[in-house]
Amino acid sequence: MAPPLRILVATVVHDPEDARIRHRQLPALVDAGHDVAYAAPFKAFDRTPPEGVWGIDLPRAKGKRRLSAVRAARTLLSAMSRTVDVILIHDPDLLLAVLALPWRKATVVWDVHEDTASALHMRDWAPPKLRPILSAGAVAAEQYAEFNFRLLLAEHGYRDRFTRIHPVVPNSVRVPAEEPLEPGGDRVVYLGKVTRPRGGAELIELARRVPEVTVEVIGPAERDIEDELRAAADEGIVDWRGFMPNDLALRRLRGALAGVSLLHDEPNYTNSQPTKVIEYMAHGLPVITTPNWAPKELVEHAECGAVVPFDDVEAAAEVVRDWAADRDKRAGLGRTGYDYAKAHLDWNSDAHDFVRALEDARMLDLAKRRRPQSTVERVLGRRRGRSGA
């Protein structure tokens, strides 16, 4: 049996409680016997490191204030790149932190779980006139990363952005082994960060249109919708729970009438599968989603919910009213969603592929370093030496 790898997982952007990192990838690595360190902005988010890993605090990169976090991360990664086997980064920002690290021995793997270039067009901290330039820079960074590091993709739809074939480990979820509760008739839920592009305003309007049903919002809000959401919660229009640890948040899904995902028509959401949709399915909830390609295809293929037009809150309200009045329909949709998730979207199976992807990345990297130079490479090397290049 190969010795355990020493793996450093790093982010300066994500909440340390990010479900993909904290609740899926880290446990998978620890369960596989690897030694894991987790560098993340614990203090900035008021979080504590999980058990079983070595927690290292980093500053948070947010808005225009990103450079100091990248510098701190580079200092850490530069030092640890000589002692660990794998560095797994989760942010495009950290590509700068691992750029041309001196004496690096570690294999760098970038977990790509966002369309970086498209996402920049949605960032309110990026001046509109600079967004095309920043997006072009993001594309260039992706091309550099592809030829200098190892990549891990969270969506099959991301493959078209790259020229090489990279392993895909989907953003699946842990599907509970126990049978889900039958969907109730008086509560719909939204799970995840709340922003205007993610449908925050539509959630509030949905609650106004179906006052007979509670709209429960679980997750922190960004500043573009926070005041509006807080006012709606104070008025009793929505039940806003704010941030909850992932395990507690998932418990709130059980027995709800439906799970809602009203994403706007944004390029960044086209090929990205909202994890919340899979979490709804995994807990036996019918799904209401807007027609972004990835969630639309999933919900229609699994036959587990309804797709409503963008910006059409009344269409979503009609679905809620219909399901609230029809127990058999919501129960059937919830059942088919759970069965599909258990068969095709279960991290309990994908975790093995994730661990293997990192192990293979390290093995391939070491093999490449040991590969003897070809005659052409040796000749070119001698010529460069003679020319003083």
Distances (CA, A) of 367 to 92, 107, 347, 364: 26, 12, 29, 5
Q: Of how many residues is the chain composed?
A: 389
The fraction of the chain above a pLDDT of 90, given in percent, is: 75
Q: Which of 344, 343, 173 is nearest to 259 (CA)?
A: 173
- Detail the DSSP E strand segments found in the chain: 6-10, 35-40, 54-57, 86-89, 107-112, 150-153, 187-191, 214-218, 239-242, 258-261, 287-289, 305-307
pLDDT tens for the chain, residues 1 to 389:
678 999 999 999 999 999 999 999 999 999 999 999 999 999 999 999 999 999 999 999 987 788 999 999 999 999 999 999 999 999 989 999 999 888 899 999 999 987 665 555 556 656 676 667 767 777 788 888 999 999 999 988 888 889 999 999 998 999 998 999 999 999 999 999 999 999 999 999 999 999 999 999 999 999 999 999 999 999 999 999 999 999 999 999 999 999 999 999 988 888 788 999 999 999 999 999 999 999 999 999 999 999 999 999 999 999 999 999 999 999 999 999 999 999 999 999 999 999 999 999 999 999 988 766 554 445 445 544 444 44
Neighbours of 155 (CB within 10 A): 19
Tokens of 170: 């989907």
Confirm if 237 and 263 have CB atoms less than 8 A apart.
no
Structural domains in the chain plus CATH codes: 6-172+348-387 (3.40.50.2000), 187-344 (3.40.50.2000)
Tokens of 241: 């729970």
User: Helices in 130-237 by DSSP H: which ranges?
Assistant: 131-148, 200-209, 226-234
Confirm if 258 and 174 have CB atoms less than 8 A apart.
no
Vertex 253: Cα angle to 272 and 216 (nearest 5): 90
- What are the φ/ψ torsions at residue 181 (nearest 5 degrees)? -70, 150
d(CA 169, CA 359): 14
Residue appearing with tokens 């000589």: 82
